[in-house]
Amino acid sequence: VTRLSPDLDRAAAAVRDAESPLGSRRGLFEVPEGIVYLDGNSLGPLPRSAPDRLDEVLRGEWGTGLIASWNTADWINLGRRVGARIAPLIGAAPGDVHVGDSTSVTLFKTMVAACRLRPDRRVIVVEPSTFPTDGYVAAGVARLLGLDLRWCDPADPAAALDDDVALVSLTHVDFRSGAMFAMADVTAAAHEVGALAQWDLCHSTGAVPVDLTGADADLAVGCTYKYLNGGPGSPAFAWVAPRHQAALDQPVTGWMGHARPFDMELEYAPTDGVGRLASGTPPVLALSVLDAALDGFDGISMETLRQASLSLTDYFIDLVDARLGTVLEVITPRDHARRGSQVSLRHEHAYGVVQALIERGVVGDFRSPDVARFGFAPLFVTHTDVYDAVEHLVAVMAGGEYARPGYAVRNAVT
Ligand SMILES: Cc1ncc(COP(=O)(O)O)c(C=O)c1O
């Protein structure tokens, strides 16, 4: 049995939690008793305020106000209002964030629009370890527009850039490893060859400070069901740098992106600003839940959240090193500047490891081929959670629980 140094034991974890400026926020979320939830990087937990808010929208606004609620409850501007609340989390101005479709559909629209901003160029650059949808959509856009897809080395994306490149689209924090790109540096390299840089912020928003304006980025997209806790399938957002908005030409030119939708004109005329990314009727129920979820970020800076997140991931890595260093490989960068808010462990039986942990009440997830992922959403995860999770992980590994025959067949969602 490894003797833990006193600064890593459970009492030390409790002291760190007591000192955390985020301690009271945990109560904003519904995390079932006995569960250590380390999957907020995949699906955030239910914010306690969401059911009442949804009930109010369902019974009060829809049930009582009926169609008038588009005006009286301002449903028509709900996407804009929610976008303005996401903006400070990503270094954007309040009017520059659009919310409405899935991440994949949003990526399609912004990628086409970005390539149309560089009509004389033929290449879209993505990286092979990106989240699959980003690569699939980029390939679809390339086929549609008659462009080529070029894979870059994630260790050196700039090496793939030349003056044929219209757009480089990267995931800021890697979904599998938790590694983070230097956004400003890669963006500068793209601009040096005249290309645009787009960032997928799914694993960044609400977990690490993002400064799209400071990095001089061109476009960004991100989901809202992970660290923003917007609920399963909550709509994604898009950001477009103000300098590109007037020329932005997206492919799904629906009436909600029109300058005057209720004039019912024959010709499409896009509205000013990022609102032109809208296509159809906004998902009011989902947006309302997301709006309630964003209350969790009120009055707290991303820097404070980042400090808490790094403290949690450092602690998890230190415990794994001390107790399981010979059994599990930490594949997430140890360098703070290159780490998001998750820690990934590699093991041949990673799926079984995750399933055995779930049976013990510690929820992480598995990503093919051999990665066990643990997310440390600083709004509700504590250091004692981390301690308890590693305690269970030690038992799972020592008892070989990961090799149970039931884990030979994977669930549809892993
Ligand atoms: C980086 C990244 N992009 C996109 C998505 C998913 O896209 P969608 O919201 O369309 O399902 C995910 C989901 O986990 C993701 O991690």
Q: How does pLDDT run across 93-126, given as a tens digit for each residue?
A: 999 999 999 999 999 999 999 999 999 999 999 9
At residue 24 the predicted structure's pLDDT band, cuts being 50, 70 and 90, is confident
Residue 136 annotated as catalytic? no
106 C-alpha to center of ligand 1: Å? Answer: 10
**Strands, E, within 122-164: which ranges?**
123-126, 148-151
- N-to-C CA span, the chain: 32
Q: Kindly state the tokens that stand for 105.
A: 């559909």
For residue 163, pLDDT beyond 60 = yes
Using most ligand atoms within 8 A of CB, pick from 42, 102, 103 the residue to mutate for ligand 1. 103
Question: Which residues have C-beta within 8 Å of that of residue 50, sequence separation ≥ 6?
Answer: 231, 289, 292, 293
CA–CA gap between residue 307 and residue 303 (Å, rounded): 6
Q: How far is the CA of 282 from the centre of ligand 1 (A)?
A: 19
| DSSP element (H, E) containing 275 | none
Whether the per-residue pLDDT at 1 is higher than 70: the answer is no
Residue 156 CA: distances (Å) to CA of 181, 186, 269: 10, 9, 41
Angle value at C-alpha 39, between 37 and 45, nearest 5 degrees: 65
Instruction: Report the nearest atom of ligand 1 relative to the CA of 104.
Output: 10
User: Quick one: pLDDT band at residue 4, thresholds 50, 70, 90?
Assistant: confident
pLDDT above 90: residue 403? yes
Whether residue 375 contacts residue 42, with contact meaning beta carbons closer than 8 Å, is answered with yes
Residue 200 among the catalytic residues: yes
Rounded to the nearest angstrom, the distance between the alpha carbon of 91 and the centre of ligand 1 is 21
221 lines ligand 1 (CB under 6 A): no
297 an active-site residue? no
State yes or no: is 109 an active-site residue. Answer: no
Pocket test for ligand 1, best of 104, 105, 133, 221 (most atoms within 8 A of CB): 133
| Full DSSP string of 310-369 | HHHHHHHHHHHHHHHTTT-EE-S-SSGGGB-SEEEEE-TTHHHHHHHHHHTTEE-EEETT
106 lines ligand 1 (CB under 6 A): no
* pLDDT band with cut points at 50, 70 and 90 for residue 155: very high
DSSP 202: T
Q: What is the mean pLDDT of residues 293-305?
A: 97
Q: Exactly one of 109, 118, 226, 276 is catalytic; name it.
A: 226
Which pLDDT value is given to residue 147? 98
pTM of the model: 0.97
Instruction: Single out the residue of 39, 46, 23, 25 nearest to residue 229, CA to CA.
Output: 46
- Whole-number Å distance between alpha carbons of 339 and 324: 20
219 pLDDT band (50/70/90 cuts)?
very high
**110 CB within 6 A, ligand 1:** no
Q: Which two tokens stand for residue 61?
A: 């606004």
Q: How far apart are CA 298 and CA 405, in angstroms?
A: 46
